[in-house]
Amino acid sequence: MIITVTMNPSLDHAYFIDHFSPGIVNRFQTPRKSIGGKGINAGRAASLSGAKVIISGFLGGDLGQIVGRDLKDENLFELMMLPVSEETRRAITVMHDGNVHTEIVESGPEVSDEQAFHLMNEIKEKLNKENASVITINGSVNSNNKHLYKDLLKYIRTEISNEIPVLMDISGEQLLSLLESDEYKPTFIKPNIHELGELIGKSIPSKEVAIHEMSHSLFNDIDYIMVSCGAEGALFKAGDIYYNVEIPTIDIINPTGSGDATVGGFAYALEEKYSIEDTLKYAMACGMSNAQHAEVGVINKHDVELFMNQIQVKQYKFEPTKAIG
Ligand code: ATP
């Protein structure tokens, strides 16, 4: 069983218009609505892979009810969504003028430390009755405690299990706080190549540069570090071993959430005890399959298995002058 945590889900609205003009009335057709949330997307990919999945987090107000109902209707996971009084957020994307995306994203209900620990306690109670093999914490949280995710990891390690793999797909100051702490380390993180640059305060123009930055002391003692690079695949570090993962070029429909599907695939492969190489291939193939669907977090297991045969995982000998390949 895989448990994913989404602190700040959303009801996403996509509007399409030929030309968008700020400062005047723009009239749209009814938007396409979908559920947003990185842990939900990752859970969907893991469930479609064949795992039993619990989706956990917070929902509030009328929008929260809609999200909860739609998640239930998907029939892919067990829900552990706790109620909050503030309304679940709305995220609006306007697609206009060719391929331009303009986004309006609400900050969502503020999650207090008490609410966050209450959720962790619910997960603990669940795990007293049933075994889980992986916990994932995905995406942002609207909290005034910039150490919240670090504190939650400590709770998991001290109160739930010191053994269970904890995959944390988070960014910004919450990730920095986690990495700067010497206390507890997540099992896995997955910054994309841009987030890696933000973390270390440098622009990272290529995989070549990125792989060298993965030896940065911020990443010490984390079992698995994946830097995803979109259509260029990913880089991976496990202890002292570095990997370059190359993927084939494919036709895509919507790559949004490919990183989330990658994390869901990684969680599934860990649960299935795949080798490192197959885990990387499975995770990458889930990201690729997601990119071939309009819906987010959706993968086709048959395609994933076909993609795995076309993905190359090469160990990279870490020498500053050596080229990737
Ligand atoms: P998101 O935040 O939208 O979930 P991300 O930035 O975290 O995405 P990416 O690096 O874009 O993650 O993608 C994760 C993986 O998905 C890639 O490593 C790759 O395997 C696959 N992928 C993403 N985009 C493409 C693409 N255009 N073509 C093929 N595969 C892709």
Interval between CA 231 and ligand 1 midpoint (Å):
6
| Residues 258 and 290 sit within 8 Å (Cβ to Cβ) | yes
H/E run at residue 182: none
Instruction: Specify the residue with its C-alpha closest to ligand 1, atom 24.
Output: 230
Of 165, 129, 191, residue with least CA distance to 272: 165
Judged by average pLDDT, the poorest of 57-61, 93-97, 164-168, 258-262 is: 93-97
pLDDT band at 64, cuts 50/70/90? very high
What is the predicted pLDDT for the residue at 91? 94
Q: Is 60 exceeded by the pLDDT of residue 325?
A: no
Please work out whether the CB of residue 39 comes within 6 Å of at least one atom of ligand 1: no
Instruction: Specify the residue with its C-alpha closest to ligand 1, atom 23.
Output: 230
Choosing from 105, 138, 194, 228 the residue with most ligand 1 atoms within 8 A of its CB, the one to mutate for a pocket test is 228
H/E run at residue 304: helix 301-308
Please work out whether the CB of residue 139 comes within 6 Å of at least one atom of ligand 1: no
Q: Is 60 exceeded by the pLDDT of residue 320?
A: no
Q: Is 80 exceeded by the pLDDT of residue 323?
A: no
Interval between CA 196 and ligand 1 midpoint (Å):
14
pLDDT band at 101, cuts 50/70/90? confident
Q: Is 70 exceeded by the pLDDT of residue 191?
A: yes
How high does pLDDT run on average in the chain? Answer: 95
What is the predicted pLDDT for the residue at 294? 87
Average pLDDT over residues 186-196: 97
Residue partners of 89: CB distance under 8 A and separation at least 6: 8, 9, 10, 11, 63, 105, 106, 107, 108, 109
82 burial class (0-12, 13-18, 19+ CB within 10 angstroms)?
A: middle
Tell me the residue ranges of DSSP E strands in the chain. Answer: 2-6, 10-17, 32-36, 53-60, 78-84, 89-96, 100-105, 134-138, 166-169, 188-189, 224-228, 234-238, 241-246, 312-316
Which residue has tokens 């599934």? 268
What is the predicted pLDDT for the residue at 99? 81
Q: Where are the domains of the chain?
A: 2-315
Interval between CA 135 and ligand 1 midpoint (Å):
21
What is the predicted pLDDT for the residue at 321? 53
CA distance 165 to 270: 9
> Which class in CATH covers the domain with range 2-315?
alpha beta
pTM for the model: 0.95
